[in-house]
Amino acid sequence: MTQRKGLSYKARRRWSLVLLLIGMPLYIVIAVNVVGLFDRPPIWLELAIYVILGFLWMAPFRFVFRGVGQADPDAPRDTDNG
């Protein structure tokens, strides 16, 4: 087995759950409150602001979510086909 850099598959799964269950709702509350501090812009601009903020939230955590939906690469493989 080779040594890999970064987080293990299980650690990435755990961190992705923490980010989705705690980080995302917290970020949404902060984003809505920050946008609420200003006068309401036109709906198309407000939508663009939220889309940009969504991508800004996601960008730093790409490495955590990468490959989480796939099978565990470190799990023993079942060679029995029966």
27, part of any domain: yes
Quick check: 9 and 74 in contact, CB under 8 A?
yes
Length of the chain as a residue count: 82
Quick check: 9 and 72 in contact, CB under 8 A?
yes
pLDDT band at residue 55 under the 50/70/90 scheme? confident
Cα end-to-end distance, the chain, whole Å: 26
81, part of any domain: no
43, part of any domain: yes
| pLDDT number for residue 36 | 85
| pLDDT number for residue 79 | 62
- How many independent structural domains does the chain possess? 1
43: domain range?
A: 9-65
Within 1-82, strands assigned E span none
Please state the rounded mean pLDDT for residues 55-74.
Answer: 76
Asked which of 41-45, 59-63, 75-79 is least confident by mean pLDDT, the reply is 75-79
Structure tokens at 57: 């939230």
Element at 51 (helix H, strand E): helix 43-58
pLDDT band at residue 44 under the 50/70/90 scheme? very high
pLDDT for residue 80 is more than 60 = no
74, part of any domain: no
75, part of any domain: no
73, part of any domain: no
80, part of any domain: no
